[in-house]
Amino acid sequence: MFFLYVLSAGELLKKEGLQKMIQPKASLQTAYLSDATLSGYEGSVEVLKNRLAINNKIAGFSYTNWAFQWNKLAGLPFGDGVHSPLKQMHSFKANANIPYFINEKWFWLNSVSIKSTFEKETQNSYGAGVFSFVSYKIDDEHAIQFGAFGNYYPISTLALPVISYSYRARQSDGFKFILGFPRTYVGYHVNEDALVRFGVVFSQSVIRLSQTSGIEESGFIEAKDYMSNLGISYEFNSKFNVESDLLYSVKRDFKLYSKDGDELNSYSINPSLGVNFKITYLF
Q: 3-class SS at 79?
A: coil
Confidence (pLDDT) at 7? 45
SS (H, E, C) 212-263: CCCCCCCCEEEEEEEEEEEEEEEECCCCEEEEEEEEEEEEEEEEEECCCCCE
Confidence (pLDDT) at 138? 94
- Segments making up each domain of the chain, as ranges: 2-282
C-beta separation of 97 from 6 below 8 A: yes
* Domain 2-282: which CATH number of 2.40.160.40, 2.100.10.30, 3.30.70.100, 1.10.510.10: 2.40.160.40
The ranges of the chain with pLDDT < 50 are: 1-10
* Contacts with 119 (C-beta within 8 Å, 6 or more apart), sequence order: 86, 88, 89, 90, 207, 208, 209, 210, 213
pLDDT in tens, 185-228: 999 999 999 999 999 999 999 999 999 999 999 999 999 999 99
Phi, psi for 259 (deg, rounded to 5):
-65, -20
Distance CA(18)–CA(242), nearest Å, equals 25
Confidence (pLDDT) at 11? 52
Confidence (pLDDT) at 15? 52
Q: What is the pTM of this model?
A: 0.89
Amino acid at 121: E
Distance CA(7)–CA(203), nearest Å, equals 19
Confidence (pLDDT) at 17? 58
